[in-house]
Every structure is written in C-alpha cells, then in structure tokens.
C-alpha cells in the first residue's frame, strides 16, 4: 500500500472551513443580488435569475461539501482516506457552480473586456479544479491497489476535458444551443451528483472496517462525471447572451 503524503484526518478540517467559506460567500452574494434587483426592478431580476440560481446551488453544495469533510475528522486512517478522496469532487462542483454564477453576474453588469477576462480566468480555475480531482483519485487508485488500468482511464477522462472544450467552444452554434437548452439540466445534475456522492460515502461507512475497499469503477465514474460537468460549465461560461433592451 502506498502511503499518501498527507494525513486526511488532519487536513479535512481545513477543507471543511474553506468549503464553508465558499458556501457563505455564495449565500451572501445571492441575498445581495436579491436586494439589488428588488421587487420593482423585474427586468434586472430576470437578467440575474440564472446567477441567483447558480449561487444558491453553490451554497447548498458547498455546505454539503463542508459537512462531508468535517465528518472525516476522527475516523480511522483507511476510512478517512476513502471519504477524503470521494468528497473531493463535491468540492470541485462547488467551485464550478460558483464560477458560473459569478460570470452570470458579470455578464449582466460588467463591460465586454471584464466579461472576457473573467471567463478566461474561470477556464483556468475549472481546469485546475478538475486536475486536482484527478490527482486525488489517482492517489486513491494507488492507495487501494486498483492498478494501472484505472490510472489510464482517469488520465483519459482528464484529457477528454481539454479535447471536448477545444472542439465545442469555438463552435458558436453548438455552444449557444447547449447553453440555452441545458442550463436547467446543468443545475439538476450538479445537485444530484453531489448528493449522490454523499450517499455513496454514507453507504460505504456502513461497511465493516475489515471489508473496506474501493471498486475499480468508482474513481473512473467520478472522474468522468467531474470532467463532463467541468466541460459543461466552460460551455455555459462561453455563451454570449444577447443584451436585453432596458429602454
């Protein structure tokens, strides 16, 4: 068994605090947007509705991620490592939805230069977040002895993120269709995936310590899911919405 370069039970509290901070930021931003739009500014509220929904989802998923990390503290070493690795994608999903929400706000209130810059920065952060998930899951595959085949599939899922984004984003018609038709689906998938991971962790904690193991398909499915969601978020960011006439 490969020894990880960190103690999951020691650093889980830091991850819990950070995801809780992101969740609180999302909730505060949501209420600020509601206060800014107000009941008499229906047009502005309509423009910011997507941002409000994404920030709400980020606050919910961030709270869940904080809870999952805080639950790791005090567990035995092997079980703590498993929960830590599996909870990583929920942290990444929090970042994806938060970035999408912030970019929606900027798309309404900022200039074209600011929108372009924020989008490019968000691309980098999304790629880095998915890469971090890949690192955690690769370490989990080594720790639980899943072999090189799982590592190859994890890497393929990570590379696919670049490939799909590079193909779809320059295609404005495809990008526009995906953003218009699949925004609600993106919101549902983000929430369901996060709670699905939480249920997986809960189910696994019912398994006796002597029978603890990591199925080969599990890290691959997590990596594929996060890569797909990351690509989806990048496409939503790239969508250029037609400005609404406020006159």
- Give the SS3 label for residue 23: helix
**pLDDT tens track for 126-135:** 999 999 999 8
Secondary structure string (H, E, C) spanning 112-151: HHHHHHHHHHHHHHHHHHHHHHHHHHHHHHHHCCCCHHHH
- Distance separating alpha carbons of residues 38 and 241, to the nearest angstrom: 23
Q: What is the pLDDT of residue 246?
A: 43
CA-nearest of 116, 4, 104 to 47 is 104
**pLDDT tens track for 173-207:** 777 777 778 889 999 999 999 999 999 888 887 87
Residue 22 has pLDDT above 60, yes or no: yes
**pLDDT tens track for 208-245:** 766 677 788 888 999 999 999 998 998 888 665 544 44
Structure tokens at 153: 């599939």
pTM for this prediction: 0.87
Higher pLDDT, 167 or 57: 57
Question: What are the extents of the domains in the chain?
Answer: 8-238
Give Cα 167 to chain centroid, integer Å.
Answer: 21
Residue 67 has pLDDT above 90, yes or no: yes
- Beta strand spans in the chain (E): none
């Amino acid at each position: 068994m490969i020894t990880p370069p960190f103690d999951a039970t020691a650093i889980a509290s830091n991850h819990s605090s950070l995801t809780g901070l992101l969740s609180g930021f999302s909730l505060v931003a949501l209420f600020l947007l509601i206060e800014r739009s107000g009941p008499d500014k229906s047009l502005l509220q309509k423009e910011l509705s997507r941002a409000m929904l994404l920030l709400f989802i980020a606050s919910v998923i961030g709270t869940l991620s904080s809870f999952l990390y805080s639950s790791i503290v005090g567990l035995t070493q092997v079980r703590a490592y498993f929960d830590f690795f599996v909870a990583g994608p929920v942290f990444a999903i929090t970042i994806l939805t938060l970035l999408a929400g912030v970019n929606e706000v900027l798309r309404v209130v900022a200039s074209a230069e600011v929108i372009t810059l924020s989008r490019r920065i968000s691309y980098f952060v999304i790629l880095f977040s998915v890469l971090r998930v890949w690192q955690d899951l690769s370490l989990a595959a080594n720790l639980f002895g899943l072999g090189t085949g799982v590592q190859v599939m994890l890497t393929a899922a990570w590379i696919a993120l670049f490939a799909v984004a590079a193909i779809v984003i320059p295609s404005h018609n495809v990008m526009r269709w995906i953003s218009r038709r699949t925004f609600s689906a993106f919101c549902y998938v983000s929430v369901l995936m996060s709670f699905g991971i939480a249920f997986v962790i809960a189910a696994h904690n019912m398994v006796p310590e002597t029978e603890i193991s990591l199925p080969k398909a599990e890290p691959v499915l997590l990596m594929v899911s996060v890569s797909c969601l990351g690509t989806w978020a990048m496409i939503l960011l790239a969508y250029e919405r037609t400005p609404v006439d406020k006159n």
